[in-house]
Structure 1
Protein backbone atom coordinates (compact mmCIF):
# COMPACT_ATOMS: atom_id res chain seq x y z
CA UNK A 1 0.00 0.00 0.00
CA UNK A 2 2.77 2.35 0.98
CA UNK A 3 4.69 1.47 -2.16
CA UNK A 4 1.73 2.29 -4.36
CA UNK A 5 1.23 5.74 -2.79
CA UNK A 6 4.94 6.42 -2.97
CA UNK A 7 5.05 5.50 -6.66
CA UNK A 8 2.07 7.71 -7.46
CA UNK A 9 3.62 10.65 -5.65
CA UNK A 10 6.86 10.20 -7.54
CA UNK A 11 4.93 10.11 -10.82
CA UNK A 12 3.05 13.32 -10.00
CA UNK A 13 6.28 15.07 -9.06
CA UNK A 14 7.87 13.95 -12.29
CA UNK A 15 4.92 15.36 -14.27
CA UNK A 16 5.17 18.70 -12.44
CA UNK A 17 8.91 18.91 -13.15
CA UNK A 18 8.30 18.26 -16.83
CA UNK A 19 5.65 21.00 -16.92
CA UNK A 20 7.92 23.50 -15.18
CA UNK A 21 10.84 22.70 -17.47
CA UNK A 22 8.92 22.78 -20.74
CA UNK A 23 6.59 25.70 -20.01
CA UNK A 24 8.58 28.30 -18.09
CA UNK A 25 7.63 31.15 -20.37
CA UNK A 26 3.90 30.63 -19.87
CA UNK A 27 4.35 30.81 -16.11
CA UNK A 28 7.08 33.31 -15.42
CA UNK A 29 7.08 35.79 -18.35
CA UNK A 30 4.73 38.17 -20.18
CA UNK A 31 2.05 36.40 -22.30
CA UNK A 32 2.81 36.42 -26.03
CA UNK A 33 0.55 37.94 -28.73
CA UNK A 34 -1.95 35.61 -30.37
CA UNK A 35 -3.83 35.24 -33.68
CA UNK A 36 -0.94 36.48 -35.85
CA UNK A 37 -1.92 36.71 -39.53
CA UNK A 38 -1.25 38.74 -42.69
CA UNK A 39 -3.98 40.95 -44.12
CA UNK A 40 -2.94 41.44 -47.76
CA UNK A 41 -5.09 43.50 -50.16
CA UNK A 42 -3.92 44.73 -53.57
CA UNK A 43 -0.28 43.95 -52.73
CA UNK A 44 -0.37 45.91 -49.49
CA UNK A 45 0.70 43.47 -46.73
CA UNK A 46 -0.18 44.20 -43.10
CA UNK A 47 0.75 41.91 -40.24
CA UNK A 48 -1.90 41.88 -37.48
CA UNK A 49 -2.14 40.24 -34.07
CA UNK A 50 -4.13 40.18 -30.84
CA UNK A 51 -2.39 41.88 -27.88
CA UNK A 52 -1.91 39.76 -24.73
CA UNK A 53 -4.15 40.24 -21.75
CA UNK A 54 -1.85 41.46 -19.00
CA UNK A 55 -1.87 43.95 -16.15
CA UNK A 56 0.95 46.14 -17.43
CA UNK A 57 1.65 49.40 -15.61
CA UNK A 58 2.87 50.97 -18.86
CA UNK A 59 1.89 50.73 -22.53
CA UNK A 60 2.53 47.30 -24.03
CA UNK A 61 4.92 47.62 -26.98
CA UNK A 62 5.42 45.21 -29.88
CA UNK A 63 8.36 44.33 -32.14
CA UNK A 64 8.17 42.51 -35.48
CA UNK A 65 10.71 40.40 -37.39
CA UNK A 66 10.54 38.68 -40.77
CA UNK A 67 12.46 35.95 -42.59
CA UNK A 68 12.40 35.49 -46.36
CA UNK A 69 14.18 33.17 -48.71
CA UNK A 70 17.31 35.34 -48.65
CA UNK A 71 17.51 35.35 -44.84
CA UNK A 72 16.75 31.64 -44.66
CA UNK A 73 19.26 30.39 -47.24
CA UNK A 74 21.97 33.05 -47.49
CA UNK A 75 22.01 34.38 -43.93
CA UNK A 76 21.69 30.97 -42.27
CA UNK A 77 18.14 31.38 -41.04
CA UNK A 78 18.57 34.79 -39.42
CA UNK A 79 15.65 37.11 -38.68
CA UNK A 80 15.46 40.75 -39.80
CA UNK A 81 13.89 43.54 -37.74
CA UNK A 82 11.01 45.33 -39.48
CA UNK A 83 12.37 48.89 -39.61
CA UNK A 84 9.16 50.76 -38.74
CA UNK A 85 7.80 48.13 -36.35
CA UNK A 86 10.13 48.09 -33.35
CA UNK A 87 8.53 48.83 -29.95
CA UNK A 88 5.31 50.17 -31.40
CA UNK A 89 2.06 50.49 -29.40
CA UNK A 90 -0.27 49.44 -32.24
CA UNK A 91 -1.26 45.84 -33.01
CA UNK A 92 -0.41 45.94 -36.73
CA UNK A 93 2.64 46.46 -38.92
CA UNK A 94 2.92 47.37 -42.64
CA UNK A 95 5.39 44.95 -44.26
CA UNK A 96 4.69 45.88 -47.89
CA UNK A 97 8.25 46.97 -48.65
CA UNK A 98 9.84 44.12 -46.69
CA UNK A 99 7.97 41.52 -48.77
CA UNK A 100 9.89 42.23 -51.96
CA UNK A 101 9.65 38.94 -53.87
CA UNK A 102 7.28 36.09 -54.62
CA UNK A 103 9.03 33.74 -52.19
CA UNK A 104 7.60 32.54 -48.87
CA UNK A 105 8.01 34.79 -45.83
CA UNK A 106 7.79 33.88 -42.17
CA UNK A 107 6.92 36.59 -39.64
CA UNK A 108 6.80 36.84 -35.86
CA UNK A 109 5.93 39.35 -33.14
CA UNK A 110 6.53 39.66 -29.42
CA UNK A 111 5.26 41.94 -26.64
CA UNK A 112 7.16 44.06 -24.14
CA UNK A 113 5.98 45.53 -20.82
CA UNK A 114 8.70 47.66 -19.32
CA UNK A 115 11.77 45.40 -19.18
CA UNK A 116 9.70 42.22 -19.42
CA UNK A 117 9.53 40.42 -22.78
CA UNK A 118 7.23 37.73 -24.12
CA UNK A 119 7.96 34.83 -26.42
CA UNK A 120 7.82 35.27 -30.20
CA UNK A 121 4.58 34.29 -31.90
CA UNK A 122 4.97 33.19 -35.53
CA UNK A 123 2.55 32.83 -38.41
CA UNK A 124 0.73 29.53 -38.60
CA UNK A 125 2.09 29.10 -42.14
CA UNK A 126 4.48 31.23 -44.29
CA UNK A 127 3.01 34.04 -46.39
CA UNK A 128 3.46 34.54 -50.13
CA UNK A 129 2.41 37.81 -51.72
CA UNK A 130 0.93 35.96 -54.69
CA UNK A 131 -1.94 35.13 -52.34
CA UNK A 132 -2.89 38.78 -51.94
CA UNK A 133 -6.57 39.60 -52.31
CA UNK A 134 -7.33 41.78 -55.34
CA UNK A 135 -10.30 44.13 -55.36
CA UNK A 136 -11.99 45.89 -58.26
CA UNK A 137 -10.11 49.12 -59.07
CA UNK A 138 -11.71 52.32 -57.81
CA UNK A 139 -12.09 54.25 -61.06
CA UNK A 140 -13.31 57.78 -61.83
CA UNK A 141 -14.15 58.91 -65.39
CA UNK A 142 -14.60 62.55 -66.40
CA UNK A 143 -15.15 64.24 -69.73
CA UNK A 144 -14.23 67.73 -70.91
CA UNK A 145 -14.37 68.77 -74.53
CA UNK A 146 -13.14 65.92 -76.70
CA UNK A 147 -11.03 64.33 -73.92
CA UNK A 148 -11.66 61.59 -71.36
CA UNK A 149 -9.88 61.68 -68.01
CA UNK A 150 -9.57 58.34 -66.16
CA UNK A 151 -8.28 58.17 -62.56
CA UNK A 152 -7.56 55.03 -60.52
CA UNK A 153 -6.82 55.18 -56.78
CA UNK A 154 -4.12 53.18 -54.93
CA UNK A 155 -2.31 51.54 -57.80
CA UNK A 156 0.12 48.84 -56.52
CA UNK A 157 3.81 49.07 -57.37
CA UNK A 158 3.93 45.46 -58.58
CA UNK A 159 0.94 45.66 -60.91
CA UNK A 160 -0.87 47.65 -63.58
CA UNK A 161 -4.44 48.55 -64.47
CA UNK A 162 -5.79 47.72 -67.92
CA UNK A 163 -8.27 50.38 -69.08
CA UNK A 164 -10.52 49.38 -71.99
CA UNK A 165 -12.30 52.11 -73.99
CA UNK A 166 -14.84 51.74 -76.81
CA UNK A 167 -17.72 53.56 -78.50
CA UNK A 168 -21.09 52.40 -77.31
CA UNK A 169 -22.29 51.71 -80.88
CA UNK A 170 -19.10 49.94 -82.03
CA UNK A 171 -17.31 46.71 -81.15
CA UNK A 172 -13.74 47.98 -81.57
CA UNK A 173 -11.98 48.37 -78.20
CA UNK A 174 -8.71 50.05 -77.24
CA UNK A 175 -6.70 48.98 -74.17
CA UNK A 176 -4.48 51.37 -72.18
CA UNK A 177 -2.14 50.54 -69.27
CA UNK A 178 -1.93 52.62 -66.09
CA UNK A 179 0.84 52.25 -63.49
CA UNK A 180 1.61 53.73 -60.08
CA UNK A 181 3.91 56.27 -61.77
CA UNK A 182 1.06 57.49 -64.03
CA UNK A 183 -2.23 57.18 -62.12
CA UNK A 184 -4.11 59.48 -64.53
CA UNK A 185 -4.98 58.66 -68.15
CA UNK A 186 -6.00 61.21 -70.81
CA UNK A 187 -7.67 60.02 -74.03
CA UNK A 188 -7.95 62.88 -76.52
CA UNK A 189 -9.46 63.65 -79.95
CA UNK A 190 -12.66 61.70 -79.38
CA UNK A 191 -15.73 62.10 -81.58
CA UNK A 192 -18.15 64.80 -80.49
CA UNK A 193 -21.63 63.67 -79.48
CA UNK A 194 -20.65 59.99 -79.14
CA UNK A 195 -20.96 57.85 -76.00
CA UNK A 196 -17.76 56.14 -74.83
CA UNK A 197 -17.59 53.34 -72.26
CA UNK A 198 -14.68 52.53 -69.95
CA UNK A 199 -13.78 49.48 -67.80
CA UNK A 200 -10.71 48.75 -65.65
CA UNK A 201 -9.00 45.60 -64.36
CA UNK A 202 -6.03 45.25 -62.00
CA UNK A 203 -3.36 42.71 -63.02
CA UNK A 204 -0.25 41.82 -61.01
CA UNK A 205 3.12 41.29 -62.64
CA UNK A 206 2.74 37.62 -61.72
CA UNK A 207 -0.35 37.46 -63.95
CA UNK A 208 -3.02 37.31 -61.24
CA UNK A 209 -6.00 39.47 -62.34
CA UNK A 210 -8.81 41.10 -60.40
CA UNK A 211 -12.43 41.37 -61.40
CA UNK A 212 -13.37 43.97 -64.01
CA UNK A 213 -15.26 47.13 -63.10
CA UNK A 214 -18.75 47.65 -64.53
CA UNK A 215 -18.78 49.80 -67.72
CA UNK A 216 -18.76 53.52 -67.06
CA UNK A 217 -20.26 55.35 -70.07
CA UNK A 218 -20.07 59.12 -70.74
CA UNK A 219 -20.92 61.38 -73.67
CA UNK A 220 -18.27 63.53 -75.35
CA UNK A 221 -19.57 67.09 -75.48
CA UNK A 222 -17.19 68.84 -77.88
CA UNK A 223 -13.75 70.39 -78.39
CA UNK A 224 -14.08 73.20 -75.86
CA UNK A 225 -11.43 73.80 -73.22
CA UNK A 226 -10.97 71.05 -70.69
CA UNK A 227 -12.83 71.66 -67.45
CA UNK A 228 -9.96 70.56 -65.22
CA UNK A 229 -7.76 73.32 -66.67
CA UNK A 230 -10.01 76.10 -65.35
CA UNK A 231 -9.11 75.68 -61.64
CA UNK A 232 -5.41 75.74 -62.58
CA UNK A 233 -5.82 78.99 -64.50
CA UNK A 234 -7.74 80.63 -61.66
CA UNK A 235 -5.17 79.49 -59.13
CA UNK A 236 -2.26 80.89 -61.15
CA UNK A 237 -4.06 84.21 -61.60
CA UNK A 238 -4.70 84.55 -57.88
CA UNK A 239 -1.05 83.72 -57.08
CA UNK A 240 0.24 86.34 -59.55
CA UNK A 241 -2.10 89.04 -58.20
CA UNK A 242 -1.10 88.27 -54.61
CA UNK A 243 2.57 88.46 -55.62
CA UNK A 244 2.08 91.90 -57.21
CA UNK A 245 0.19 93.22 -54.19
CA UNK A 246 2.90 91.93 -51.87
CA UNK A 247 5.60 93.63 -53.97
CA UNK A 248 3.78 96.96 -53.87
CA UNK A 249 3.18 96.71 -50.12
CA UNK A 250 6.81 95.78 -49.47
CA UNK A 251 8.03 98.72 -51.57
CA UNK A 252 5.88 101.18 -49.63
CA UNK A 253 6.93 99.85 -46.23
CA UNK A 254 10.67 99.61 -46.98
CA UNK A 255 11.00 102.79 -49.06
CA UNK A 256 13.89 105.03 -47.81
CA UNK A 257 13.42 108.77 -47.48
CA UNK A 258 15.95 109.71 -50.17
CA UNK A 259 14.77 107.19 -52.70
CA UNK A 260 11.13 108.00 -52.09
CA UNK A 261 11.83 111.72 -52.67
CA UNK A 262 13.37 110.84 -56.02
CA UNK A 263 10.24 108.98 -57.00
CA UNK A 264 7.85 111.60 -55.63
CA UNK A 265 9.87 114.84 -56.37
CA UNK A 266 7.79 117.99 -56.61
CA UNK A 267 8.32 120.28 -59.59
CA UNK A 268 9.00 123.94 -58.77
CA UNK A 269 6.27 126.37 -59.66
CA UNK A 270 7.18 128.80 -62.51
CA UNK A 271 7.83 132.44 -61.67
CA UNK A 272 5.13 135.00 -62.25
CA UNK A 273 4.95 136.05 -65.83
CA UNK A 274 5.68 139.79 -66.30
CA UNK A 275 3.09 141.95 -67.92
CA UNK A 276 4.35 143.58 -71.13
CA UNK A 277 1.25 145.58 -71.76
CA UNK A 278 0.43 148.99 -70.11
CA UNK A 279 -1.83 149.08 -67.13
CA UNK A 280 -4.62 151.57 -67.40
CA UNK A 281 -5.84 152.89 -64.05
CA UNK A 282 -9.30 154.21 -63.88
CA UNK A 283 -8.92 157.21 -61.54
CA UNK A 284 -11.16 160.04 -60.59
CA UNK A 285 -10.16 163.58 -61.89
CA UNK A 286 -9.10 164.77 -58.44
CA UNK A 287 -6.98 161.67 -57.85
CA UNK A 288 -5.31 162.13 -61.20
CA UNK A 289 -4.30 165.72 -60.38
CA UNK A 290 -2.82 164.63 -57.04
CA UNK A 291 -0.85 161.93 -58.72
CA UNK A 292 0.62 164.35 -61.25
CA UNK A 293 1.70 166.79 -58.55
CA UNK A 294 3.94 164.16 -56.93
CA UNK A 295 7.57 164.54 -57.95
CA UNK A 296 9.94 161.71 -57.74
CA UNK A 297 12.90 162.23 -55.45
CA UNK A 298 16.23 160.82 -56.48
CA UNK A 299 18.83 160.39 -53.84
CA UNK A 300 22.42 160.62 -54.94
CA UNK A 301 25.43 159.51 -53.05
CA UNK A 302 26.39 163.05 -51.84
CA UNK A 303 23.04 163.78 -50.34
CA UNK A 304 23.02 160.45 -48.63
CA UNK A 305 26.45 161.02 -47.09
CA UNK A 306 25.55 164.57 -46.05
CA UNK A 307 22.48 163.42 -44.31
CA UNK A 308 24.49 160.87 -42.40
Structure 2
Protein backbone atom coordinates (compact mmCIF):
# COMPACT_ATOMS: atom_id res chain seq x y z
CA UNK A 1 0.00 0.00 0.00
CA UNK A 2 1.27 3.44 -0.89
CA UNK A 3 1.51 5.71 2.10
CA UNK A 4 0.79 9.43 1.82
CA UNK A 5 3.46 11.83 2.92
CA UNK A 6 0.74 13.36 5.09
CA UNK A 7 0.33 10.03 6.89
CA UNK A 8 3.84 8.55 7.20
CA UNK A 9 4.42 4.91 8.08
CA UNK A 10 6.33 5.88 11.21
CA UNK A 11 6.19 8.75 13.62
CA UNK A 12 8.31 11.38 11.85
CA UNK A 13 9.36 12.91 15.15
CA UNK A 14 8.56 16.03 17.11
CA UNK A 15 8.26 19.40 15.45
CA UNK A 16 11.54 21.24 15.83
CA UNK A 17 11.48 24.45 17.77
CA UNK A 18 13.56 27.59 17.37
CA UNK A 19 16.59 25.76 18.74
CA UNK A 20 16.59 23.69 15.54
CA UNK A 21 17.49 26.72 13.45
CA UNK A 22 21.26 26.49 13.04
CA UNK A 23 22.98 29.62 11.81
CA UNK A 24 26.15 29.64 9.79
CA UNK A 25 29.36 31.37 10.72
CA UNK A 26 30.40 34.32 8.58
CA UNK A 27 33.29 32.20 7.27
CA UNK A 28 30.89 29.50 6.07
CA UNK A 29 28.68 32.17 4.50
CA UNK A 30 31.57 33.60 2.51
CA UNK A 31 32.60 30.13 1.39
CA UNK A 32 29.06 29.61 0.08
CA UNK A 33 29.20 32.98 -1.67
CA UNK A 34 32.50 32.13 -3.36
CA UNK A 35 31.07 28.82 -4.58
CA UNK A 36 27.93 30.61 -5.82
CA UNK A 37 29.81 33.10 -7.95
CA UNK A 38 32.49 30.55 -8.80
CA UNK A 39 29.93 28.35 -10.56
CA UNK A 40 28.75 31.29 -12.66
CA UNK A 41 32.26 32.31 -13.64
CA UNK A 42 33.12 28.64 -14.14
CA UNK A 43 30.39 28.33 -16.77
CA UNK A 44 32.78 30.18 -19.11
CA UNK A 45 34.84 26.99 -19.21
CA UNK A 46 32.53 25.77 -21.98
CA UNK A 47 34.61 27.90 -24.35
CA UNK A 48 37.71 25.86 -23.53
CA UNK A 49 36.26 22.63 -24.93
CA UNK A 50 35.75 21.83 -28.58
CA UNK A 51 32.01 21.78 -29.17
CA UNK A 52 30.30 18.41 -29.29
CA UNK A 53 26.54 17.85 -29.78
CA UNK A 54 26.42 15.65 -26.68
CA UNK A 55 27.52 18.62 -24.57
CA UNK A 56 24.55 20.67 -25.75
CA UNK A 57 22.15 17.76 -25.26
CA UNK A 58 23.48 17.18 -21.75
CA UNK A 59 23.15 20.87 -20.91
CA UNK A 60 19.56 20.93 -22.18
CA UNK A 61 18.63 17.76 -20.30
CA UNK A 62 20.11 18.82 -16.97
CA UNK A 63 18.61 22.29 -17.38
CA UNK A 64 15.08 21.02 -18.00
CA UNK A 65 15.15 18.31 -15.33
CA UNK A 66 16.54 20.58 -12.64
CA UNK A 67 14.34 23.54 -13.55
CA UNK A 68 11.32 21.24 -13.27
CA UNK A 69 12.67 20.03 -9.92
CA UNK A 70 12.47 23.63 -8.71
CA UNK A 71 9.09 24.48 -10.23
CA UNK A 72 7.33 21.15 -9.74
CA UNK A 73 8.97 20.00 -6.51
CA UNK A 74 10.53 22.78 -4.45
CA UNK A 75 7.83 25.27 -5.39
CA UNK A 76 4.56 23.48 -6.03
CA UNK A 77 5.14 20.58 -3.63
CA UNK A 78 7.37 21.58 -0.73
CA UNK A 79 6.38 25.24 -0.62
CA UNK A 80 2.65 24.94 -1.34
CA UNK A 81 1.76 21.24 -0.94
CA UNK A 82 -0.32 21.38 -4.11
CA UNK A 83 -0.36 17.59 -4.44
CA UNK A 84 0.37 14.54 -2.31
CA UNK A 85 2.75 11.65 -2.77
CA UNK A 86 4.36 8.80 -0.85
CA UNK A 87 6.94 9.48 1.80
CA UNK A 88 9.58 7.64 -0.21
CA UNK A 89 8.93 9.64 -3.38
CA UNK A 90 8.78 12.82 -1.32
CA UNK A 91 12.39 12.17 -0.29
CA UNK A 92 13.53 11.19 -3.79
CA UNK A 93 11.94 14.32 -5.25
CA UNK A 94 13.73 16.30 -2.58
CA UNK A 95 17.05 14.77 -3.66
CA UNK A 96 16.23 15.71 -7.26
CA UNK A 97 15.56 19.26 -6.11
CA UNK A 98 18.95 19.55 -4.45
CA UNK A 99 20.66 18.91 -7.81
CA UNK A 100 19.57 22.41 -8.87
CA UNK A 101 22.00 23.88 -6.31
CA UNK A 102 19.39 26.03 -4.57
CA UNK A 103 20.03 24.61 -1.10
CA UNK A 104 17.70 22.16 0.61
CA UNK A 105 13.92 21.78 0.32
CA UNK A 106 13.19 23.14 3.80
CA UNK A 107 15.32 26.23 3.24
CA UNK A 108 13.72 26.90 -0.15
CA UNK A 109 10.17 26.39 1.10
CA UNK A 110 10.78 28.50 4.20
CA UNK A 111 12.02 31.47 2.19
CA UNK A 112 9.21 31.14 -0.33
CA UNK A 113 6.49 30.95 2.30
CA UNK A 114 8.00 34.04 3.88
CA UNK A 115 7.68 35.75 0.49
CA UNK A 116 3.98 34.97 0.26
CA UNK A 117 3.31 36.14 3.81
CA UNK A 118 4.93 39.52 3.10
CA UNK A 119 4.72 39.84 -0.69
CA UNK A 120 6.06 43.23 -1.78
CA UNK A 121 6.05 44.44 1.81
CA UNK A 122 8.63 44.67 4.56
CA UNK A 123 9.82 41.12 5.22
CA UNK A 124 9.62 39.95 1.60
CA UNK A 125 13.06 38.45 0.86
CA UNK A 126 13.12 39.44 -2.81
CA UNK A 127 10.60 42.14 -3.66
CA UNK A 128 11.58 44.04 -6.84
CA UNK A 129 10.38 47.19 -5.10
CA UNK A 130 13.89 47.15 -3.62
CA UNK A 131 15.42 47.04 -7.09
CA UNK A 132 16.04 44.55 -9.87
CA UNK A 133 19.44 43.41 -8.59
CA UNK A 134 18.15 42.83 -5.06
CA UNK A 135 15.18 40.78 -6.30
CA UNK A 136 17.20 38.83 -8.85
CA UNK A 137 20.08 37.62 -6.71
CA UNK A 138 21.25 40.33 -4.32
CA UNK A 139 19.02 39.03 -1.53
CA UNK A 140 20.85 35.70 -1.62
CA UNK A 141 23.95 37.48 -0.35
CA UNK A 142 22.06 38.77 2.71
CA UNK A 143 23.10 36.61 5.71
CA UNK A 144 19.65 36.93 7.29
CA UNK A 145 18.29 34.52 4.66
CA UNK A 146 21.11 32.02 5.00
CA UNK A 147 19.65 29.69 7.65
CA UNK A 148 16.60 27.48 7.21
CA UNK A 149 13.50 29.07 8.74
CA UNK A 150 12.06 26.05 10.49
CA UNK A 151 9.17 28.02 11.94
CA UNK A 152 7.85 28.35 8.38
CA UNK A 153 8.11 24.65 7.53
CA UNK A 154 7.02 22.72 10.62
CA UNK A 155 4.88 20.45 8.44
CA UNK A 156 7.99 19.42 6.49
CA UNK A 157 10.54 19.53 9.31
CA UNK A 158 8.67 16.71 11.07
CA UNK A 159 10.40 14.31 8.69
CA UNK A 160 13.95 13.52 9.84
CA UNK A 161 15.00 12.47 6.34
CA UNK A 162 14.03 15.90 5.01
CA UNK A 163 15.93 17.63 7.80
CA UNK A 164 18.93 15.46 6.95
CA UNK A 165 18.62 16.30 3.25
CA UNK A 166 18.28 19.99 4.03
CA UNK A 167 21.51 19.83 6.02
CA UNK A 168 23.38 17.77 3.43
CA UNK A 169 21.95 19.33 0.28
CA UNK A 170 25.43 19.20 -1.26
CA UNK A 171 24.76 15.56 -2.22
CA UNK A 172 22.55 16.71 -5.11
CA UNK A 173 25.21 18.81 -6.86
CA UNK A 174 27.77 16.06 -6.23
CA UNK A 175 25.52 13.50 -7.92
CA UNK A 176 24.91 15.85 -10.84
CA UNK A 177 28.63 16.43 -11.34
CA UNK A 178 29.30 12.68 -11.19
CA UNK A 179 26.63 11.92 -13.81
CA UNK A 180 27.86 14.68 -16.13
CA UNK A 181 31.44 13.45 -15.86
CA UNK A 182 30.39 9.84 -16.49
CA UNK A 183 28.46 10.87 -19.60
CA UNK A 184 30.87 13.32 -21.21
CA UNK A 185 33.97 13.89 -19.10
CA UNK A 186 35.07 17.34 -17.96
CA UNK A 187 33.41 18.93 -20.97
CA UNK A 188 30.18 17.39 -19.72
CA UNK A 189 30.74 18.93 -16.29
CA UNK A 190 31.31 22.36 -17.85
CA UNK A 191 28.18 22.16 -20.01
CA UNK A 192 25.90 19.89 -18.01
CA UNK A 193 26.65 21.27 -14.56
CA UNK A 194 28.34 24.69 -14.58
CA UNK A 195 26.53 26.30 -17.53
CA UNK A 196 23.27 24.47 -16.91
CA UNK A 197 23.26 25.50 -13.24
CA UNK A 198 23.93 29.13 -14.10
CA UNK A 199 21.09 29.17 -16.64
CA UNK A 200 18.74 27.41 -14.22
CA UNK A 201 19.53 29.93 -11.48
CA UNK A 202 18.84 32.99 -13.59
CA UNK A 203 15.68 31.57 -15.11
CA UNK A 204 14.43 30.81 -11.59
CA UNK A 205 15.42 34.26 -10.35
CA UNK A 206 13.56 35.93 -13.24
CA UNK A 207 10.31 35.19 -11.42
CA UNK A 208 11.52 37.15 -8.40
CA UNK A 209 12.84 40.09 -10.41
CA UNK A 210 10.39 40.27 -13.33
CA UNK A 211 7.11 38.50 -12.50
CA UNK A 212 6.10 41.38 -10.22
CA UNK A 213 7.04 43.92 -12.90
CA UNK A 214 6.08 42.79 -16.42
CA UNK A 215 2.82 41.34 -17.70
CA UNK A 216 -0.87 41.73 -16.99
CA UNK A 217 -2.92 41.44 -13.82
CA UNK A 218 -6.09 39.33 -13.89
CA UNK A 219 -6.71 39.37 -10.13
CA UNK A 220 -6.30 42.03 -7.49
CA UNK A 221 -4.08 40.04 -5.13
CA UNK A 222 -2.80 42.87 -2.95
CA UNK A 223 0.75 42.88 -4.34
CA UNK A 224 2.40 43.38 -7.73
CA UNK A 225 2.25 39.86 -9.22
CA UNK A 226 1.55 39.59 -12.96
CA UNK A 227 0.97 37.04 -15.70
CA UNK A 228 3.56 36.96 -18.49
CA UNK A 229 3.48 34.52 -21.39
CA UNK A 230 7.20 35.18 -21.98
CA UNK A 231 8.11 34.21 -18.41
CA UNK A 232 5.70 31.27 -18.50
CA UNK A 233 7.46 29.81 -21.54
CA UNK A 234 10.88 30.51 -20.02
CA UNK A 235 10.08 28.96 -16.62
CA UNK A 236 7.90 25.96 -17.49
CA UNK A 237 4.72 27.75 -16.42
CA UNK A 238 5.80 29.83 -13.43
CA UNK A 239 5.17 33.04 -15.36
CA UNK A 240 1.42 32.83 -14.66
CA UNK A 241 2.41 34.48 -11.43
CA UNK A 242 -0.72 36.53 -10.79
CA UNK A 243 -2.73 33.31 -11.09
CA UNK A 244 -0.38 31.74 -8.57
CA UNK A 245 -0.72 34.53 -6.03
CA UNK A 246 -4.51 34.35 -6.45
CA UNK A 247 -4.56 30.66 -5.44
CA UNK A 248 -1.17 29.63 -4.10
CA UNK A 249 -1.89 25.98 -3.36
CA UNK A 250 -3.00 25.17 -6.91
CA UNK A 251 -0.76 22.72 -8.78
CA UNK A 252 -1.88 24.22 -12.07
CA UNK A 253 -0.74 27.80 -12.61
CA UNK A 254 -1.99 28.13 -16.17
CA UNK A 255 -5.69 28.42 -15.38
CA UNK A 256 -6.81 28.32 -19.04
CA UNK A 257 -5.91 25.82 -21.77
CA UNK A 258 -3.93 28.44 -23.68
CA UNK A 259 -1.82 29.31 -20.63
CA UNK A 260 1.05 26.90 -21.26
CA UNK A 261 2.23 25.25 -18.04
CA UNK A 262 4.82 22.55 -18.74
CA UNK A 263 5.37 21.93 -15.03
CA UNK A 264 1.71 20.98 -14.63
CA UNK A 265 1.78 18.73 -17.72
CA UNK A 266 4.51 16.65 -16.06
CA UNK A 267 2.55 16.56 -12.80
CA UNK A 268 -0.52 15.42 -14.75
CA UNK A 269 1.46 12.51 -16.20
CA UNK A 270 2.72 11.61 -12.73
CA UNK A 271 -0.86 11.64 -11.46
CA UNK A 272 -1.96 9.45 -14.37
CA UNK A 273 0.46 6.68 -13.34
CA UNK A 274 -0.31 6.98 -9.63
CA UNK A 275 2.89 8.63 -8.43
CA UNK A 276 1.04 11.63 -7.02
CA UNK A 277 -2.58 12.33 -6.14
CA UNK A 278 -4.94 14.98 -4.73
CA UNK A 279 -3.57 17.41 -7.30
CA UNK A 280 -5.19 20.74 -6.50
CA UNK A 281 -6.98 22.60 -9.29
CA UNK A 282 -8.05 26.25 -9.67
CA UNK A 283 -11.15 27.10 -7.61
CA UNK A 284 -14.42 27.99 -9.36
CA UNK A 285 -14.07 31.61 -8.26
CA UNK A 286 -10.94 31.88 -10.43
CA UNK A 287 -13.21 31.87 -13.50
CA UNK A 288 -15.68 34.47 -12.29
CA UNK A 289 -15.68 37.75 -14.25
CA UNK A 290 -13.17 40.20 -12.83
CA UNK A 291 -13.08 43.94 -13.42
CA UNK A 292 -9.96 45.40 -15.01
CA UNK A 293 -7.42 45.98 -12.28
CA UNK A 294 -6.71 49.65 -11.81
CA UNK A 295 -4.40 50.09 -8.88
CA UNK A 296 -1.22 52.02 -8.32
CA UNK A 297 0.73 48.77 -8.26
CA UNK A 298 -0.52 47.72 -11.69
CA UNK A 299 -0.28 51.03 -13.52
CA UNK A 300 1.21 50.90 -17.03
CA UNK A 301 1.75 47.13 -17.17
CA UNK A 302 3.88 45.66 -19.90
CA UNK A 303 1.89 43.86 -22.63
CA UNK A 304 4.12 40.76 -22.30
Normalising by structure 1, report the TM-score: 0.20
The structure where strand makes up a greater share of residues is 1
Normalising by structure 2, report the TM-score: 0.20
The structure where helix makes up a greater share of residues is 2
